[in-house]
Amino acid sequence: MTQARSTQVSLQDTAHYHCISRCVRRAFLCGEDAYSGKSFEHRRLWLVERMRLLSQVFAIDVCAYAIMSNHYHLVLHVNTASAESWSHQEVAQRWTTLYKAPLLVSRWLGGELKSKAEINKTLALIDEWRERLTDISWFMRNLNEFIAREANKEEGCKGRFWEGRFKSQALLDEKALLSCMAYVDLNPVRADMAQSLEDSEFTSIYERIHSIACQGDAGRGEVTRLPAKGLVGFLGNEREVRPSVFSKMGGIEFSLLDYLSLVEALGQVVRPNKRGYIPPCHNTILERLNMNAEEWLKLSESFGGKFRCAVGSAQELMSYAQHTNRAWVSGKSLMDVICQS
């Protein structure tokens, strides 16, 4: 049964979420369609560019992504502290980058409003926009609507392009976040679309490896008022200083090199139900994390089906269930096994 998004997102438990959107009837989002002979590879760029624009406008950061032939994955971080620091004028400017400004707001931005009642009404509307700019549903809604319109325009048709609502999973702790990011980055490898991380195009790990930044985006007409913004960065091994996986400095407190080693180690494991894998090489990253390979593998593989709406330790799952008015959260028994291993 479909559940309200409010029962799946709890920012007091976590700011990190794994989101997935699939095309209706598994139609082609990107890639080569063997039946029609058409290539939709250019649509991958649509998604990357729109995702990057939205991360500039919203108080939402992109930690990881993978764009596949009929679906895509995003790992998002909601930065509520950033949104709270914005002035009313900045919120209005961000929102009107994507949507047309009501006449009342346009007059307020131009300094034309004199009535206190009109000013209060305008500020109340802007406060509503501030909340929306920290809302994953609004982020995904804008992204999917844009891609659907462009795809339908290109194919000269109308109708639904996406398979209903997007799926979201709450990532409640460090292991859940890093394992989910690894799962997302390994999607092309597991689908046998790439043989190495360096060849996994249109993934966040490919972008990190090749240092593809978004410096040129600031020149695009619709984002000139906003600073360029790329992926969430890795700040290095600062775990002893600050235990939180997401630093107040705006990055993941984990070494990028360690993360690359982690993803490669997971990609080397041959899975009977998946076609692709990375040829094995020596790696000791899992020992430095005080976790064995089997433990990381169990958690990483679970994002494909065993976990549902949230991932984390048993205690964190219980807290999340309470805050989202759930009697229980699927995946708890699996986490119990993982944590005891």
Contact 76, 17 (CB under 8 A): yes
168 with 303, same domain: the answer is yes
192 and 219 share one domain: yes
For 206, half-sphere exposure in the C-beta direction (CA atoms, 13 angstrom radius) is 19
Q: Is 275 inside any structural domain? A: yes
Q: Is residue 5 situated within a structural domain?
A: no
Write out the H or E segment, with its range, that includes residue 287.
helix 285-288
Domain boundary among 99, 117, 132: 132
Q: Are residues 22 and 164 in the same domain?
A: yes
274 lies in a domain?
yes
CA distances (Å), 93 to each of 49, 79, 87, 111, 232, in order? 20, 18, 10, 14, 23
261 and 282 both lie in a single domain: yes
Cα 241 from Cα 12, distance rounded (Å): 23
Maximum Cα interatomic distance, the chain, rounded to a whole number of Å = 70
pLDDT, residue 312, reads 66
- Residue found under tokens 């080569």: 32
Give the SS3 label for residue 19. strand
d(CA 296, CA 181): 12
150 is a domain residue = yes
b/e map 173-203, b = 16+ CB within 10 Å: bbbbbbbbbbbbbbbbbbeebbeebeebebb
Query: Is residue 246 domain-shared with residue 265, that is, in the same domain?
Result: yes
| Whether residues 30 and 104 fall in one domain | no
HSE-up of residue 147 (Cα within 13 Å, Cβ side) = 30
Q: What is the mean pLDDT of each run of 10 residues along the chain (341 residues)?
A: 64 92 78 73 90 95 93 95 95 95 93 91 96 96 94 86 89 91 94 86 86 40 54 68 48 81 84 74 46 57 55 71 65 44 40
d(CA 50, CA 69): 17
Here the tokens at position 154 are 């290109």
- Read off the tokens for 285: 């990253």
230 shares a domain with 159 = yes
> Two tokens at 93?
């400017």
Task: Tell whether 26 is covered by a domain.
Answer: yes
Pick from 132, 147, 164: which residue ends a domain? 132
Instruction: Mark whether 156 and 191 lie in a shared domain.
Output: yes
Q: How many CB atoms lie within 10 A of CB 6?
A: 10
C-alpha pair distances (Å), 220 with each of 40, 123, 212, 215, 227: 23, 29, 17, 11, 11
Give domain status of residue 1, yes or no: no
51 belongs to a structural domain: yes
pLDDT tens profile 92-104: 999 999 999 999 9
Q: Are residues 226 and 274 in the same domain?
A: yes
**Whole-number pLDDT of residue 243:** 43
Residues 42 and 170 in one domain: yes
Number of helical H runs and strand E runs in the chain: 14, 7
Does one domain contain both 142 and 119?
no
Q: What is the pLDDT of residue 73?
A: 97
DSSP letters spanning 293-306: HHHHHHHHHGGGTT
Coil, strand or helix at 315: helix
Task: Identify whether 261 is part of a domain.
Answer: yes
Domain shared by 88 and 74, yes or no:
no
- Total domains present in the chain: 2
Query: Which CATH number is 160's domain given?
Result: 3.30.70.1290
- Domain assignment of residue 93, given as a range: 83-132
Six token digits for residue 229: 């913004």
